[in-house]
Amino acid sequence: MLDGTAFLCDFKGSQTPLLTKEQPGTHIMRIGMVGLGRMGANMVLRLIKAGHEVVVWDRSQDAVKDLAAKGAIAAADQKDLVSKLTGPKAVWMMIPAAYVDDTIATFAPLLGKGDILIDGGNSYYKDDIRRAGELSAKGIEYVDVGTSGGVWGLERGYCEMIGGSKEAVGYLDPILKALAPGKGDAPVTPGRTRKGTAEEGYLHCGPNGAGHFVKMVHNGIEYGMMAAYAEGLNILKNANAGKVKREIDAETTPLRDPENYQYDLDLPEITEVWRRGSVVASWLLDLTADALARDPELKTFGGRVSDSGEGRWTILAAIEEGVPAPVLSSALYERFSSRNLAEYADKICSAMRFEFGGHLEKPAGSK
């Protein structure tokens, strides 16, 4: 990281003090932001609040106009965005992974040697390695930033896991620091003696791809944690199974001790008490408790759980490394099942039961 003063760098050692205006203790930068969805827009606002200048563009001109009214600099198109930046020009892409290559293809001809393209979305780290190599041939730096914080990032800040050259990441330090949560009220980890930006909520993890690799596994862990809470709460919700009348037939497993399952448990209150002093307390639990407080039966949700790729890539990395990851794998497969992607396999099983034993399917919803 830079030593307290932000610089314009040509990445060959020559340095010039950064940009036009400066507030006490703040190094003002101008950066371009492409993609003004929920996270991108909030990141723009957080940077503006920190005193930085942000040139914004999105396919939605309404999104551009909205942020321009809040202090951003509007760009009419990609070329206009680049023209409003000063060198080295830095363009941050906050877009779905599927659009990154096309977006790079648009911006690369508009950028020059020493300029920086940043991918802050959830791209596959192997794509980062390829893109960095392609852009390096043109003298353009590429930085991958795994960004965690979701819709709460404007208020809480964003945890950033960063891959790229030391020079490029160092140049971007004022931007990365402004987006990060900072130390806040979190105490220093007991026994920690090292100093660095990790305590501030952002970390240069290594060369190109390292940022998204760390974020990929972070999201894989997130899948596992979410599944663990979901499965545990589902067991609690069905703790009144002994009160449910079951049919007595060859297709229904009898509940051996129904008297042991007579609990009508208050899940909103249970998640609330777990938040306080429990070993399973976490921000994910905080969010779960909030959701249950507002909608105890979760009637506003259908149960279809999407995945954006990181869980799959985490499991693929585990396979290629030869590292077992049964919990993360199971959590990913459960998301597939939530989208009825197990329906055909279930029908095959039902068909086989009928063929070998004449077992008839019971109606959907039967216990």
pLDDT in tens, 194-217: 999 999 999 999 999 999 999 999
Evaluate if residue 19 carries a pLDDT over 80.
Answer: no
**pLDDT for res 79:** 98
CA 235 from centroid of its chain's CA atoms: 28
Mean residue pLDDT of the chain comes to 91
Decide if pLDDT at 71 tops 60. yes
DSSP string, 282-307: -HHHHHHHHHHHH-TT-TT-------
pLDDT at 186: 82
Average pLDDT over residues 58-82: 98
Q: Where are the beta strands (DSSP E) in the chain?
A: 7-9, 15-17, 22-23, 26-27, 30-34, 53-57, 73-74, 90-93, 116-119, 141-148, 159-163, 202-206
- The answer, yes or no, to whether residue 36 has pLDDT greater than 90, is yes
The full DSSP string for 137-156 is TTT-EEEEEEEE-GGGHHHH
Could you give the CA distance from residue 296 to residue 264 in angstroms, rounded to a whole number? Answer: 13
CB count within 10 Å of CB 43 equals 26
Q: Please answer whether residues 122 and 98 qualify as being in contact, where contact means their C-beta atoms are separated by less than 8 angstroms.
A: no
Q: pLDDT tens digits for 274-324? A: 999 999 999 999 999 999 999 999 999 999 999 999 999 999 999 999 999
Q: Which residues are catalytic?
A: 215, 222
Which DSSP string corresponds to 200-215?
GTEEEEESTTHHHHHH
CA-CA-CA-CA torsion sign (188, 6, 213, 50): positive
Angle, in degrees to the nearest 10, between helices 38-49 and 61-68: 20
Q: Is the pTM of this model over 0.85?
A: yes
pLDDT higher than 80, residue 20: no
Other CB atoms within 10 Å distance of the CB of residue 271:
23
If you count them, how many residues does the chain have?
A: 367
Question: In this predicted structure, what is the pLDDT of residue 26?
Answer: 52
Task: Provide the pairing of β-strand 159-163 with 53-57.
Answer: unpaired
pLDDT for the residue 367: 67
**Residue among 41, 47, 39 nearest 176 (CA):** 47
What percent of the chain has a predicted confidence (pLDDT) above 70? 93
| pLDDT reading at 108 higher than 80 | yes
205, 211 contact by CB (below 8 A)? yes
Most confident by average pLDDT, 179-193, 321-335, 351-365: 321-335
Bridge partners (DSSP) listed for residue 160: 147, 202
> What pLDDT, on a 0 to 100 scale, did the predictor assign at position 2?
35
